[in-house]
Structure 1
Amino acid sequence: MIIKDVMTLMQSWAPLNYAEDFDNVGLLVGDPDRELKGILVTLDTLEATVDEAIEKNCNLIISFHPIIFKGLKSLTGKTYVERTVIRAIQNDIAIYAVHTALDNHFQGVNAMICNKLGLINRKVLIPQQHTIKKLQTYVPDDHAESLRTALFEAGAGNIGNYDHCSFNLQGTGTFRGGEGSDPVVGKKGELHFEKETQLNITYPKHAEGRILKALKETHPYEEVAYEIYGLDNSNQHIGLGMTGDLPEAMNESSFLKDITQQMNTPGLRHSALRSKPVKKVAVLGGSGAFAIEQAIAAGADVFVTADLKYHDFYRAEGKIVLADIGHYESEQFTKELIVKYLTKKITNFAVVLSTCNTNPVKYLY
């Protein structure tokens, strides 16, 4: 395998198309065509992480957080970011970051928090917009079934828990081939009427390349007529944060104590308690202050997140309990999720879980 093969596997699982616009994801350092030796999976990439990769003979680091977030104007080693990048380059180690592409995944970062807290009936808290597209094309009736099948196999026609979804209309298409044409049906220079099926099918935007390839390879016409539309429909399986229910309601103090145990956090900051039972919970790994109002609107009793500032706690307004468990703590299990996925896909190369604790926040007990 080469490093690019692992990148392909990662992008088929957590497409970079779904990362937030502000993010910096994908291959950040290294040659994608270099032969793969081993993979080290980490939450953050630091100098110590690169040293661990060297020690464990891994020349690819899959990192949740990107080591390069803003543009680098120089590489002189004056910051930890520059020193890490230099050390990786000097030792031919590639660095790939996934970050918000996995934040927006239905089985990603927030699903891991839900697993730890035992939440059921899960839904995306903030569905990502503009992730669904629609293809409309016209095909001779005799070829409609084969084209539908090819598009389904390429990833089109999935809506929520349903697949093979399409809408079909029968009608008559007209065309006349010009001097340089080579029509499959009809004759060059003559107006032709053909019984056709108008095929309408939705697909996720990251699959567009595969969808169009399948369309053009399967469609019988020399010139394929098709239209693509961007839809405003919310995608119920892609987006930031999640909501879920506890199997049984708990009192607030007991639930907060349970969070500290399940999330292995030595400190938890929270807003004023409401003296109400906790049943519905919203979660958002990492910095989640921007989603407080969405958590309230979703009817959550508690919002579990991180990096809340002083004035953010006022925004609870007595409508919700805000629980700040720490940035690292909210995302710490993500690297295990990545290792589990890659281990299933790659059996002949080492996929190593980093043992470095990269949490920059220390606690005084």
Structure 2
Amino acid sequence: METFESGRYHTDKPVHDPPILTVHICRSPGQLCPAFPLDGRIHLTCGMMFLFLLFKCHIGYPSMSFAYPALKKLFCEIKGGLANTPEDRDRVQQDLNTMEKWANENKMQFNKDKCKVLHLGQKNEKHAYWMGDTLLAFPIVFGAFCMPLAFLRGIPRKLLQVQPSINLRSRAFMDLKVLVSLLNDFASLSLAESWDNVGLLVEPSPPHVVSTLFLTNDLTEEVMEEALQERAGLILSYHPPIFKPLKRITWQTWKERLVIRALENRVGVYSPHTAYDAAPHGVNTWLAKALGACTTIPLHPSAAPNYPTKGCYRIEFSSCSAEAVLSRLREMPGVSLLTTVPARVDGAEQVQVSLNCTQSALLQVMALLSQSSPVYEKTEIISLQKPLLRDTGMGRLCTLGEAVAVSVLTERVKSHLGVPHVRLALGAGKTLESEVKVVALCAGSGTSILQGTEADLYLTGEMSHHDVLDAVARGITVILCEHSNSERGFLLELQQLLAVHLENKVQVIVSKRDRDPLRVV
């Protein structure tokens, strides 16, 4: 049995040929279709590939990528000879001479000194050759033997010049499902607002492995092009590129084109958005670092998502003969944890009933109990609240260790965000030298989170004109940084956090083209 697991290859068979070989069929160079995992031994798909090459079928060009178990060093440059057996070195030199002759005959450039070789197994014939990033030649495995490389001279030139689908220097990879599960563990999607659209938004057909995780604040077409150039397997876009439902997938709108390009190039798209806003190690915690030393608490704390109690309300009542009522309650949707215990009430033997119910079931339960006045009059309704999570929730209320002037705090914010300008509205009766001790902040658009909060200063990305006027009238100073400027800098910190969380099993990179669309001119 053979399995893939987050960068490791497991097999209970004797291992003779260490590398795992993945063969891709592409409709045109650079466009990959689903991959077939092979292991260098007998496999029908290899034979099919061999036949495709022989008959020059129209289905596409072959492209190869390699995942490496840590069994031995497999990849080396031919500079001063290959450090294997003398037979290996002779075989490699023969192959290089064959390729050099074939290249000269076809008027192609070939430099033996720049050629690289990958040893594919115990047999001397099993080598694949690269020059730079170009796959020059590879053995076709069929049954128990490999075709000599000299045979490849008859294969059309376009089939031998293929860009490898994965950077050979990167050996780490992870299955998409495993990676998404780990991302969900990093910041639970249950923390996101109910209106948000978070999680895996675009999924290539399985199996899909990821060697590069690409981070961006906004997934624009320019950023998508960058992600494809970086050969990303998954794009983590802080803002969800799919928010409103799409009724069609055409080439007419830019968001539809993003979906098309992602699927055509087998790139997944994942968005955490407000889950990262609420997380204790998320965007708002990062933004609070702009203030200097301070203590912070969430403005709107998050409740535990998996609290064991079901339902929003607990109902308790007692009755002398509860069987008829209990049978109807058990059949009622939204009713759970129904328990009964004998009880003595007012000197009479009765049954004490306790149940949990949802908001929608509450009215039905009370309508049933109201049919018996003695029961209804003794019924108690208890509202159930889930426990709040520590340091988790929307926005932050920050108390500075030492009060600072508005002008000083403004410079700190600009330095932390890496922006030359912010917008500032001084509270009524305040100046640039007025002291600030308490700051309420929210990354992005913070009006709904900050509204009504008592503080010396509001820090957010954007607020409406009238909301700013309301804050100023209350004596609250407002700093606006533009929406994405209050979020984007978190990606560099996120890069480091995810590298540790994912145990460096995938490469994590940050977009260089992602930027706020607004400029001060």
TM-score, with length taken from structure 1: 0.69
Structure 1 position 291, deviation (Å)? 2.4
Matches within 5 A, 1:113-262: 113-129=287-303, 131=305, 133-134=307-308, 231-262=385-416
Indicate if the aligned counterparts of 1:266 and 1:363 stay in contact, CA closer than 8 A. no
Which string of whole-angstrom CA distances, capped at 9 and with x for unpartnered residues, describes residues 290-336 of structure 1? 1233432xxx2111002211101122133321211111110012222
Aligned length: 269
Structure 1 position 230, deviation (Å)? 5.6
Distance 2:306 2:299 in 1: 17
Structure 1 position 135, deviation (Å)? 5.7
Question: Partner of 1:358 in structure 2?
Answer: 515
Indicate if the aligned counterparts of 1:269 and 1:324 stay in contact, CA closer than 8 A. yes
Distance 1:62 1:130 in 2: 25
Which string of whole-angstrom CA distances, capped at 9 and with x for unpartnered residues, describes residues 91-131 of structure 1? 11100001001101111001111123224211111113464
Structure 1 position 340, deviation (Å)? 1.4
Given the alignment, which residue of 234, 251, 255 partners 1:81? 255
TM-score, with length taken from structure 2: 0.49
Structure 1 runs (4+) greater than 4 angstroms displaced: none
Query: What residue ranges of structure 2 are gaps of 5+ in the alignment?
Result: 1-173, 311-382
Provide closer, same or farther for how the CA distance between residues 349 and 131 of structure 1 changes in structure 2, counting only shifts above 3 A.
closer
- RMSD between superposed Cα atoms in Å: 2.1
Question: Partner of 1:20 in structure 2?
Answer: 193
Distance 2:221 2:503 in 1: 26
Given the alignment, which residue of 189, 203, 225 partners 1:30? 203
Identity %: 30
Query: What residue ranges of structure 1 are gaps of 5+ in the alignment?
Result: 137-228
Distance 2:397 2:193 in 1: 20
Distance 1:132 1:350 in 2: 32
Given the alignment, which residue of 446, 458, 464 partners 1:288? 446
Distance 1:305 1:341 in 2: 24
Structure 1 position 22, deviation (Å)? 0.8
Distance 2:399 2:195 in 1: 31
Q: 2:496 matched to 1:340?
A: yes
Question: Partner of 1:65 in structure 2?
Answer: 239
Letter in 2 for 1:231: Q
Indicate if the aligned counterparts of 1:3 and 1:34 stay in contact, CA closer than 8 A. yes
Question: Partner of 1:182 in structure 2?
Answer: none
Question: Partner of 1:224 in structure 2?
Answer: none
Distance 1:25 1:311 in 2: 30
Provide closer, same or farther for how the CA distance between residues 348 and 356 of structure 1 changes in structure 2, counting only shifts above 3 A.
same
Provide closer, same or farther for how the CA distance between residues 59 and 267 of structure 1 changes in structure 2, counting only shifts above 3 A.
same
The higher relative CO (CA closer than 8 Å, separation ≥ 6) is in 1
Letter in 2 for 1:35: V
Distance 2:290 2:518 in 1: 22
Distance 2:451 2:293 in 1: 21
Provide closer, same or farther for how the CA distance between residues 346 and 302 of structure 1 changes in structure 2, counting only shifts above 3 A.
same
Question: Partner of 2:421 in structure 1?
Answer: 267
Indicate if the aligned counterparts of 2:291 and 2:409 stay in contact, CA closer than 8 A. no
Letter in 2 for 1:285: A
The SS at the match of 2:214 is strand
